[in-house]
Structure 1
Amino acid sequence: MPDDNEMNLLGILFVFLVIAPNYLVAEESDMQLVDSFFIDNTEVTVGKFKKFAAETGIVTKAEKTGGGFVFADGWEQKVGWNWRNPFGTIANKDEPAVHITYDEASKYCEWLGKRLPMDQEWTLAAYTEKRLKANGLFKYNNTYSYPLGNKPIGANCLNDCGRSVAINYSELLDRGIGHARVGKTKAGINGLFDMGANVWEWVNIDNDDYKGTRGGSWWYGAHKMHRDSPVALKPRETAAVYIGFRCVKDR
């Protein structure tokens, strides 16, 4: 008899399937294959992080300590600003989850059987086209200056990126407008959204105290999303209004 099946007395074969809960399944339809790994098409959203928080009971550092940070005349803590209320007001479910530390982001990815990208993985996905068919916009194995090609137009940055599609939080900020909902800017290399600007994204580097962030954000001009811009190091416990993340999964 089959090891994983059962038969009833009439000889009818029954097959029992164990279905994993949705939150344990890394949906590859929401990811893009880049060489030996899959990467999320978009930054992790408030809606997705909310499911994680409900299931695990996690309370983030920004929630525990009264609020996340923004840089003005130095780092300033903003009371009540966290992933639920990134600018002090309730977020839409499709906004990027921000005010998330490196370790909180890592736990989210692990919850889905994924992980945070290594720096070299992130940069490969951001700047080098790995799709054999890229709709004629990009050429296979070509490396570009920006995640959108040779120009930054279409990203959500402070300047040099063209018309902004950001949610206007400018009344709450000393600089910039704020982030855009995920998937609303122009798709770039490998079909990915917001690898340049919108929010910084955590990446793994070989350092215990500091971790990397890539892509720049709405707070910066296009220079921070250029291929030659170095990885920006931040203490791993940083929870700020313009730092989010996306996950990867080994093939």
Structure 2
Amino acid sequence: MLFNCREEQQKKEVVDTSKTTGKTDEAKSIDVLTEKPDTLAVPDGMVWVPGAVFMKGAVTQDKMAMGHEGPAHQVAVDGFFIDATEVTNAQFKKFVDATDYITVAERKIDWEEMKKQLPEGTPKPHDSIMQPGSLTFKKTKSTVQNLYDFSQWWQWTIGANWKNPKGPGSNLKGKEDHPVVHVSYEDAQAYCDWAGRRLPTEAEWELAARGTTRNTVFFWGDDATKLPQMVNSWEGEFPVKNTLVDGFEGTAPVKSYQQNSVGLYDMAGNVWEWTNDWYNSGYYKDMAGEGEVALNPTGPGTAFNERDPYAKEKVIKGGSFLCSDSYCASYRVSARMATSLDSAQEHLGFRTVATAEMIRDEQSK
């Protein structure tokens, strides 16, 4: 154990923050684990992401950036392992078969729990719609004038879940290598517990998405014309017509698009991905105001959304097959969205991470 710890320390890079902040009078040295410890093997299906000090949040040249993507602030993240792809239907099925797990979208709806997230006095919906299900996407028949009215293309589908992604009558035949969807935060956590992994922090996710690139809008750079070749997103007029320039209308099999600089697939588009961070509207401002480089930040201590004070939400990252340049554009690295813990949707999945310590403990058993 002492040998392993000593070896890992040697693999750390001492980062002089004055080189990245320009503030020599406030410079501090931060030990960041960059290289994978030699004694650890890379777990099957995972990739090592070298640690780094980097700017988290929107870059200055990003004209699509939303207010909650800034101000950008520096963070330091130790190296870690992360799944090369989003968790697939086949992988999730192994978990369900081994544990008999029932996802949130398959369970009877608990009104007493649901109303805790709603304004006091909200009436209970009729029993006919208080049935297990999930949100599914539907195209509109004509141009949408108000892209802030999500109800125009989202619908509650009774019977929709990870096994039946479009509802009753749909199945996973031929989609075993597509990312699993209709999984809530609780479902993703349950899978992680079974697999001996955890969900990434938002900082880890963003570092993994950037790979070795820094200060660019997309994981490949700033050239938006490469989008159809790099990302499974919406091409055409949203949400009326998808021209399928990128080859897919819904989810795509993992590894359908080019990997990023550290070997990760679909860190932009395909499906949104859960992180472990609470969503708090003021978090980025608070972090930037502290003026220090946070080491391995885990997000705010509490959830708060100024637009919905009742919500308890986590941050999701990466965008999905529904993102377009006219709406959402969340295939940008800094893009983020708040999503309630029990939310299960047709375009939301996850991938897992493991630290060097977690793998060392696992391999020593």
What band does the TM-score fall into relative to the shorter chain?
Answer: 0.7 to 0.9
Q: What is the DSSP-based 3-state SS (H/G/I as helix, E as strand, rest coil) of the residue aligned with 1:204?
A: strand
Q: Which amino acid aligns with 1:116?
A: L
Q: Which deviations, in whole Å up to 9, do the C-alpha atoms of 1:79-118 show, x marking residues without a partner?
A: 3221112123111211110000011101101211100000
Query: Following the alignment from structure 2 to structure 1, what is the Cα–Cα distance between the partners of residues 337 and 198?
Result: 19
Q: Is residue 92 of structure 2 the alignment partner of residue 49 of structure 1? A: yes
Q: Which amino acid aligns with 2:235?
A: N
Question: Are the equivalent residues in 2 in contact too, given 1:148–1:187 (CA < 8 A)?
Answer: no
Q: In the comparison of the two structures, how many residue pairs are matched? A: 204
Q: Which runs of 5+ in 2 are unaligned?
A: 1-40, 52-78, 108-130, 139-149, 237-242, 279-301, 304-311, 357-365
Matched residue, 1:182? 254
Matched residue, 2:332? 226
Q: What is the DSSP-based 3-state SS (H/G/I as helix, E as strand, rest coil) of the residue aligned with 2:330?
A: helix
Matched residue, 2:171? 90
Q: Is residue 138 of structure 2 the alignment partner of residue 68 of structure 1? A: no
Q: Which amino acid aligns with 1:68?
A: S
Q: Is residue 238 of structure 2 the alignment partner of residue 155 of structure 1? A: no
Query: Following the alignment from structure 2 to structure 1, what is the Cα–Cα distance between the partners of residues 334 and 94?
Result: 36
Question: Runs of 4+ in structure 1 displaced over 6 angstroms?
Answer: none
Query: Following the alignment from structure 2 to structure 1, what is the Cα–Cα distance between the partners of residues 319 and 191?
Result: 22
Query: Following the alignment from structure 1 to structure 2, what is the Cα–Cα distance between the partners of residues 149 and 191?
Result: 16
Q: 1:28 aligns with which of 27, 33, 43?
A: 43
- What is the TM-score with the length of structure 1 in the denominator? 0.74
CA shift, 1:71, in A, is 5.3
Identity percentage over the alignment?
Answer: 34
Q: 1:165 to 1:123 in 2, by over 3 A?
A: same
Matched residue, 1:80? 159
Query: Following the alignment from structure 2 to structure 1, what is the Cα–Cα distance between the partners of residues 332 and 181?
Result: 22
Matched residue, 2:217? 145
RMSD over equivalenced CA pairs, Å: 2.3
Question: Are the equivalent residues in 2 in contact too, given 1:127–1:145 (CA < 8 A)?
Answer: no
Query: Following the alignment from structure 1 to structure 2, what is the Cα–Cα distance between the partners of residues 76 and 212?
Result: 22
Which sits farther off after the overlay, 147-156 or 209-218?
147-156
CA shift, 1:27, in A, is 6.9
Q: Which amino acid aligns with 2:98?
A: E
Q: Which deviations, in whole Å up to 9, do the C-alpha atoms of 1:43-69 show, x marking residues without a partner?
A: 000001001011111111112243210
